[in-house]
Structure 1
Amino acid sequence: MNSEHAIAIIDDSSSVRRALESLLRSLGFAVLSFESAEAFLTSPLALDTSCVVTDVEMPGLTGIDLYEKMRSDKNETPVIFITANSEQKVRQRLGDEPCVLNKPFEVDELADCINRAIATS
């Protein structure tokens, strides 16, 4: 059971957020949902997350900007990127470390990324 792990979903698309919320809850995770990186960063719940799943391309702070801001603030919460574009953009800036999933992705791929992230954090 994963209920002790809160997963933050950050995506500007409400339909993607709802789908991911439903999926992650069905896998037993507690889910926090945010429409922007800025909303996540200003939330008192941000510090209570075990893992962040974020879209790469969003208005304002992108997923990559969020990741870099978290690391500069010494926040080592694992981050998983989802993107409708090529993962190459993420890899060019961040290397091979973070998990990057191209939309559409398989449920098992996301679950594996989250479980690996939680296990190593």
Structure 2
Amino acid sequence: MVPLICVVDDDDASREAISGLVRALGHRVAEFSSADAFLAFAEIGRVEVLIADVRMPGMTGIELCELMAASGSAIRTVLVTAHPSEADRQGAARVGAAFLVKPVSPAALAACLGAP
């Protein structure tokens, strides 16, 4: 079965652009506009990779990773941001996530996701 990749980003255009890239790389995609919406996803146990925006209203991408790890449901994660900071890079490293800057490079994203 083709891996399921979830994209969590509060910015519609960014979420759609990243989802389009993921589809073009041969993966199935589910999109969410918030961390809370993702956490309510019935198929969360089937998610292969999570791509989450670092800065979102409510729960941030880093906080989402921390919550997933604390609940024993850690998912391989790629954190993305349009406003990179050293603190965000360190946060991504702390939670074991890859870190990409928007606009996301197709080659960089492909490297993070691996082959379908």
The question of a shared fold, defined as TM-score above 0.5 by the shorter chain, is answered with yes
**How high is the TM-score relative to the length of structure 2?**
0.90
**How high is the TM-score relative to the length of structure 1?**
0.86
Q: Is the 8 A contact 1:87 1:101 kept in 2?
A: no
Q: Which amino acid in 2 is paired with 1:100?
A: F
Correspondence for 2:110 = 111
Q: CA deviation at 1:58?
A: 0.2
Correspondence for 1:80 = 78
Name stretches of at least 5 consecutive residues in structure 2 with no aligned partner: none
Correspondence for 1:102 = 101
Name stretches of at least 5 consecutive residues in structure 1 with no aligned partner: none
Aligned-pair Cα RMSD in Å: 1.8
Q: Percent identity?
A: 32
1:22 aligns with 2:20: yes
Q: Is the 8 A contact 2:6 2:51 kept in 1?
A: yes
Q: CA deviation at 1:56?
A: 0.3
Question: Of Structure 1 and Structure 2, which has the larger fraction of its residues in helix?
Answer: 1
List structure 1 segments (4+ residues) > 3 angstroms apart after TM superposition: none
